């Protein structure tokens, strides 16, 4: 496992609609693919052909992170923002952020702290918050290249926990998935398989699975697997809703995608045969699989989940063993899946 890779890409700035840094990195990593595909929204994918004319397996992660966008600049040099994706305003209070200027420079600022007795109905709204870079006028802000529509993301503070078992940073949803895809790009060169594998990254997942809707028709995959991070509730005393350290998440149900029974049984069998730890997981949110399943006449689609604590915040946490279990089951599916397995699941 390449810890430096996980640090580098989770630290990148890239809210939904502003994924160009991650796309450039992903595209460079795909340079040895048999073919590179790009959609007009910003998704990028590499095609890796196997030894036979087997099924097309698309394995993706979304490159965007939750964040904010500037909606106003006041005469006193403060900025107002609105959220991009599911952001709890309380998470942003007093947090340090990066603003990307129109020239691509990152400028640091801080989100204001609002006393609870003056917030709306004692419940904080993102419109109550102010972004402060220390400027004294709107002219100073604009001269720095900041304007309405500039994107905002948390400042990165990556570290490995003292016991060496877990990592913490912003944007693990879904840069963990991206890192796993990037490692698969390297490892697929040494994997013998009969399939056509499509690896890459989608955009704008956090704002409605938008990128997957345009990416999957490029490929019309027989099997679509998205690698994504899901929130665990073990720290609230709810281990049945997922826990760190217990293996990848077999997402059998979420509001947007129900895993086909035969596909679920296939992944369980493959996991147990290869001693890969997994946990059954019912999610309250959706992933790109929910959009991909509508491709063509319908596509087999599911999520291989990375357990995560405190996601959609500047300090999410994942377990290294869980991350490795996701990568291992993805590799086994690449090796094992073929036309016969596809027919068995579809019939």
Residues carrying an active site annotation: 205
Residues 6+ apart with CB under 8 A from 340: none
Helices 172-187 and 3-10, packing angle to 10 deg: 140
Element (H, E) at 276: none
- Compute the distance between CA of residue 7 and CA of residue 114 in angstroms, rounded to an integer: 32
Separation of CA 281 from chain center: 18
- Structure tokens that stand for 205 in this block: 């997942």
Residue of 172, 182, 168 lying closest to 10 (CA atoms): 172
Distance, CA of 254 to CA of 89 (rounded, Å): 25
Contact yes or no for 312/173 (Cβ under 8 A): yes
User: How far apart, in whole angstroms, are the C-alpha atoms of residue 150 and residue 70?
Assistant: 6
Q: DSSP of 168-181, one letter per residue?
A: EETTHHHHHHHHHH
Determine contact, residues 113/128, Cβ cutoff 8 Å.
no
């Amino acid at each position: 496992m390449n810890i430096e890779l996980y640090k580098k890409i989770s630290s990148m700035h890239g809210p939904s609609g502003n994924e160009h840094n991650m796309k450039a990195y992903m595209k460079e990593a795909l340079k040895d693919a048999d073919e590179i595909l790009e959609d007009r929204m910003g998704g990028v994918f590499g095609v890796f052909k196997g030894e036979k004319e087997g099924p097309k397996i698309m394995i993706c992660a979304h490159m965007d992170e939750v964040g904010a966008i500037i909606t106003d600049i006041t005469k006193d040099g403060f900025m107002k923002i609105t959220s991009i994706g599911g952001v709890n305003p309380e998470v942003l209070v007093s947090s340090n952020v990066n603003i990307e200027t129109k020239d691509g420079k990152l400028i640091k600022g801080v989100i204001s702290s609002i006393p609870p007795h003056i917030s709306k109905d004692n419940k904080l709204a993102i419109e109550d918050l102010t972004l402060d870079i220390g400027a004294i006028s709107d002219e100073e802000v604009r001269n720095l290249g900041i304007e309405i529509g500039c994107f905002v993301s948390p400042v990165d503070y990556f570290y490995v926990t003292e016991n060496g078992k877990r990592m913490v940073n912003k944007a693990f949803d879904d840069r963990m998935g991206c890192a796993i895809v990037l490692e698969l790009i390297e490892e697929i060169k040494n994997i013998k398989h009969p399939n056509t594998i499509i690896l890459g990254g989608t955009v704008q997942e956090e704002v409605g699975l938008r990128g997957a809707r345009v990416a999957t028709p490029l490929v019309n995959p027989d099997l679509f697997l998205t690698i994504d991070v899901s929130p665990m509730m073990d720290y609230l005393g709810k281990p049945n809703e997922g826990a760190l350290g217990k293996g990848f998440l077999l997402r059998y149900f979420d509001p947007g995608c129900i895993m086909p029974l035969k596909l679920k049984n296939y992944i369980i069998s493959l996991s147990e045969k290869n001693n890969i730890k997994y946990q059954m997981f019912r999610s309250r949110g959706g992933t790109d699989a929910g959009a991909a399943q509508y491709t063509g006449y319908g596509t087999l689609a599911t999520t291989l989940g990375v357990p995560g604590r405190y996601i959609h915040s500047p300090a999410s946490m994942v377990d290294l063993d869980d991350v490795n279990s996701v990568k291992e089951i993805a590799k086994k599916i690449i090796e094992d899946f073929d036309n016969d397995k596809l027919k068995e699941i579809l019939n």
